[in-house]
Structure 1
Amino acid sequence: MRRVEHVMGFPVSLRIDDADVPEETADAVEAGGAREATEAADAVFAWLREVDERFSPFKPGSEVSRHGRGELAPHELSEDLTEVLDLCERYRTATGGAFDARLPGRGFDPCAVVKGWSVQRAAQSLRAAGVRRFCLNAGGDVVVSGGPWRAGVRHPEQAGELCAVLDLSDNAVATSARYERGDHIIDGRTGRPAVGLLSMTVVAPTLTEADAVATAAFALGAEGVEWAAALPGCEVFAVDAAGGVLRTAGFPLHARS
């Protein structure tokens, strides 16, 4: 099955490919399997809509906005928000403040963590529902189960072109770049846009990590490539400001025949 919805400000697509059913039993399980897949997809998009309501810094009544204004005592924070806050602090500390959800002059904005974290949680719900092979794509950041799956990395300077094609299986990939939203990633150490890289793509075991590491590394600039590459389980493909490509040896490039 395939399904696409616009959630959290970007398109989210889900493809479920659990088709490896023995031929002699296919008819018997087809209706039940389709129903289960639909229910699993319903749960995914319901969760993402809930995240949008609770964690959007652009909605004044959201839990994130209320926390940012200091309206919630520590004991009033949900477990989910506490987890997000811990992730934000983890990457702020790891980057020496280059990655920071609390920039001067701006409200608290954990979107760089929330996106990957929430989509990874959705992927976990699919696995818990018994879905074995799927691809969940949230605005270009992807988590897959089963495989192989093939994904393209957009060229940072040539719209419509790819600079890399990946083979994925039971992992995730995320890219931070300047081509969609301009210089929107701020180096928290300087308060100025991060311009050392054109794009940073990270493959990791989970989208929680891939998305946060890609953004944090981009905020670090050129030094972020080495930082991200040194993290356990992370593989990196980066294009620097001069157009040079840097990648780790284990980055899962598709081998063209």
Structure 2
Amino acid sequence: MSGTAGSAQVDATPAPPRRAWVEQVMGMPVSIHLRGDGVDGPGPADAVEQAFGVLRQMDSVFSTYRDDSDLMRLRREQVQLAQCSPLVEEALRLGQEAEELTRGAFTTLLPTGEGDLAFDPTGLVKGWAVDRASRPLRRLRGLSFCINAGGDLLVGAHDDLPVAGPDAILWRVGIEDPRDRQRIASTLTLARGAVATSGTAARGAHLYDPVEGRLVGRPGSVTVTGPTLLWADIWATALFVGSEATREAFATSATDYLSTAL
């Protein structure tokens, strides 16, 4: 449910070695970039394969385009919740938590296109999946990573890498201008953290306002940065469609996150 945050480039001199992998998964191109000494060894390649394996697993559970996913079988009442992956029950819990924290601006009950609403945690699954996929990458000593999932980004590194100074590996992230997608409106420099953008520039009116019961088609975007992509993405969506009450909730309950509206 996010728009495009932009691309990440390393902001370091001299640039450390880099390697990238790309796979079409969860209905979008996902790229994993590693930087640091030893990126060409077998350990990093194995960690990347584990990361993509997590994304494939999440797709097999939550895809709305696969008839055999746990989510779709549950919606057709072919299985009970207890017969699904435990991740489905966790998604229900996360959705309820997000709805409460955002004062109702985020929901996992979304329009199906047939005039009704159904359980669809798409708005949190991407960020959650990327956070989970990052775990094997965080164990790679001396390496920094960036996962780009359809324009939303998670940057991280092994604990032995500093977040500042000459030995830090920094990633420069460009934020698109939602009214001119050929233009970068602003840039962020990160050693660690997530960047998620929600808006209508890329996909039109696809963001659902559960309070008003309608899709939001106004121009603009909201970018949220913070520790996890799960909550950066949730808050970006909620702030784009939500009211002043949602903005007040963000200010008081999401103190580790920052937002920018364009």
RMSD of aligned residue pairs (Cα, Å): 2.1
Is 1:238 the counterpart of 2:245? The answer is no
Q: Which residue identity lines up with residue 34 of structure 1 in the other structure?
A: G
C-alpha deviation, 1:199, in angstroms: 0.5
Deviations 1:219-242 (A, max 9, x none): 215654443343120111112xxx
Q: Which residue identity lines up with residue 55 of structure 1 in the other structure?
A: F
Deviations 1:166-206 (A, max 9, x none): 01122111001101110100101121123566101000111
Pairing partner for 2:147 from 119, 136, 139: 136
Query: Aligned to 1:72, what secondary structure does the other structure show?
Result: coil
Q: TM-score, normalised by structure 2?
A: 0.80
1:92-107 to structure 2, matched below 5 A, reads 92-103=99-110, 105-107=116-118
Pairing partner for 1:16 from 31, 34, 41: 34
User: Which structure features the higher share of strand residues?
Assistant: 2
Is 1:203 the counterpart of 2:210? The answer is no
Is 1:80 the counterpart of 2:87? The answer is yes
C-alpha deviation, 1:217, in angstroms: 1.8
Q: Which residue identity lines up with residue 152 of structure 1 in the other structure?
A: G
Is 1:185 the counterpart of 2:207? The answer is yes
| Pair 1:203–1:156, CA change in 2 (3 A) | same
C-alpha deviation, 1:144, in angstroms: 0.7
C-alpha deviation, 1:127, in angstroms: 1.2
Pairing partner for 1:5 from 18, 23, 32: 23
C-alpha deviation, 1:9, in angstroms: 1.5
Number of residue pairs aligned between Structure 1 and Structure 2: 228
Q: Which residue identity lines up with residue 95 of structure 1 in the other structure?
A: T
Q: Which residue identity lines up with residue 197 of structure 2 in the other structure?
A: T
2:20/2:31 contact within 8 Å kept? yes
Q: TM-score, normalised by structure 1?
A: 0.81
Runs of 5+ unmatched residues, structure 1: 20-29, 240-257
1:153/1:164 contact within 8 Å kept? yes
Query: Aligned to 1:143, what secondary structure does the other structure show?
Result: strand
1:53-92 to structure 2, matched below 5 A, reads 53-92=60-99
2:206/2:217 contact within 8 Å kept? no
What is aligned with 2:126?
115
What is aligned with 1:220?
242
1:103/1:191 contact within 8 Å kept? no
What is aligned with 1:145?
156
Deviations 1:83-123 (A, max 9, x none): 21111111122233331111351332111100000001011
User: Which structure features the higher share of helix residues?
Assistant: 1
What is aligned with 2:161?
none
C-alpha deviation, 1:131, in angstroms: 6.4
Identity across matched positions, percent: 35
Q: Using CA pairs below 8 Å that are at least 6 residues apart, which structure has the higher relative contact order?
A: 2
In structure 2, how many angstroms separate the alpha carbons of the residues matched to 1:172 and 1:45? 18
